[in-house]
Structure 1
Amino acid sequence: MKKVLIITYYWPPAGGPGVQRWLKFVKYLPEYGIEPIVYIPKNPTYPLIDEELQKDVSYNTTILKNNIIEPYGWASVFSKKNTKKISSGIIPDKKKQSVLQKLMLWIRGNMFIPDARVLWVRPSVSYLTNYLQGSGIDTIITTGPPHSLHLIGMELQKRFGVKWIADFRDPWTTIGYHKELRLSESSQQRHKKMERDVLNTADTIIVTSPTTKAEFEQLTDKPVTVITNGYDVEPVAKEPLDEKFTLAHIGSFLSERNPKILWESLSELVKEDAEFKDKFELKLIGAVSQEVLTSIEQHGLTDYVNNMGYVSHSEAVKQQRKSQVLLLVEIDSLDTRCIIPGKLFEYMASERPVIGVGPQGADFADIIKTTNTGVFVEYTEKEKLKDALKSYFAQYMGEGLKVHAIGLQQYSRRNLTNQLANLLKQS
Structure 2
Amino acid sequence: MNVLLITFSFPPAGGVGVLRALSLAKYLPDNDIRVDVLTARNAPAVGKDLTLLRQVPPEVQVHRTWTLDLPFWLRKSVKKAITGGKGKTASPRPEGQVKRQSVLKNWIGNLLLPDPQIGWLPFALPAAARLIRSRSIDAVLITVPPFSSTKLATRLRKLFPDLPIVLDFRDEWLTTTLDLVSFNNNSRARLVAQKTEGDAVRAATKVVLVTEAACNELHSRYSELPKEKFVCIHNGYDVPPPEHSPLPPTPSTTQKVVLTYIGTVYGSTAPGTFVAAVRNLSPAVRSRLHVRFIGHIEAEAYREQLVSLGETIELKGFVPQAEALAAIRDTDYLLLITHDRINVAAKFYDYLGGGKPILGAVHPDGDVRRLLEETRAGRWADVGDPESIRRMLEEAVESPNALIAPDLKRVASYHRRSLTARYASLLKGLAISGRKAERNRIEA
Partner of 2:438: none
Deviation at 1:142, TM superposition (A): 0.7
What amino acid maps onto 2:191 in structure 1?
Q
Instruction: Describe the shift of the 1:338–1:101 C-alpha distance in structure 2 as closer, same or farther (beyond 3 A).
Output: same
Contact 1:23 1:57 in 2 (8 A): yes
Q: How does 1:269-288 map to 2 (within 5 A)?
A: 269-271=281-283, 273=284, 276-288=285-297
Deviation at 1:73, TM superposition (A): 4.5
- Counterpart-to-counterpart distance in 2, 1:108 and 1:94: 24
Contact 1:320 1:350 in 2 (8 A): yes
Contact 2:265 2:271 in 1 (8 A): no
Verify: 1:292 aligned to 2:302, yes or no: yes
1:174 aligns to what SS in structure 2?
helix
Instruction: Describe the shift of the 1:28–1:104 C-alpha distance in structure 2 as closer, same or farther (beyond 3 A).
Output: farther
2:175 aligns to what SS in structure 1?
coil
Q: Could you say which structure has the greater relative contact order, defined with CA pairs below 8 angstroms and 6 or more residues apart?
A: 2
- Counterpart-to-counterpart distance in 2, 1:143 and 1:285: 25
Deviation at 1:32, TM superposition (A): 1.1
- Counterpart-to-counterpart distance in 1, 2:330 and 2:59: 35
Aligned residue-pair number = 408
What's the TM-score, normalizing by structure 1? 0.86
Partner of 1:310: 318
Partner of 2:221: 219
Contact 2:259 2:331 in 1 (8 A): yes
User: Alignment partner for residue 247 of structure 1, among 259, 283, 302?
Assistant: 259
- Counterpart-to-counterpart distance in 1, 2:295 and 2:425: 35
User: Alignment partner for residue 337 of structure 2, among 300, 314, 329?
Assistant: 329
Partner of 2:77: 81
Partner of 1:105: 105
Instruction: Describe the shift of the 1:313–1:234 C-alpha distance in structure 2 as closer, same or farther (beyond 3 A).
Output: farther
Q: How does 1:22-421 map to 2 (within 5 A)?
A: 22-70=21-69, 72-73=70-71, 76=74, 81-83=77-79, 91=87, 93=90, 95-96=92-93, 102=102, 105-161=105-161, 162-178=163-179, 181-220=183-222, 221-222=225-226, 223-233=229-239, 244-254=256-266, 257-271=269-283, 273=284, 276-288=285-297, 289-296=299-306, 301-331=309-339, 336-395=340-399, 403-406=405-408, 407-421=410-424
Residues 18-70 of structure 1: per-residue CA shift (max 9 Å, x gap): 10011011101111111111001123232332222111111211111222211
Long gaps (5+) in structure 2: 431-444
Partner of 2:429: 426
Instruction: Describe the shift of the 1:353–1:120 C-alpha distance in structure 2 as closer, same or farther (beyond 3 A).
Output: same
Long gaps (5+) in structure 1: none
Contact 1:348 1:405 in 2 (8 A): no
Contact 1:358 1:377 in 2 (8 A): yes
**Cα RMSD, aligned residues only:** 3.1
Instruction: Describe the shift of the 1:198–1:80 C-alpha distance in structure 2 as closer, same or farther (beyond 3 A).
Output: closer
- Counterpart-to-counterpart distance in 1, 2:203 and 2:60: 29
- Counterpart-to-counterpart distance in 1, 2:185 and 2:373: 37
2:216 aligns to what SS in structure 1?
helix
What's the TM-score, normalizing by structure 2? 0.83
Deviation at 1:382, TM superposition (A): 4.5
Residues 197-232 of structure 1: per-residue CA shift (max 9 Å, x gap): 111111100001111111110223151111111011
Deviation at 1:165, TM superposition (A): 0.4
Residues 290-315 of structure 1: per-residue CA shift (max 9 Å, x gap): 323433455xx212111111111111
1:269 aligns to what SS in structure 2?
coil
- Percent identical pairs in the alignment equals 24
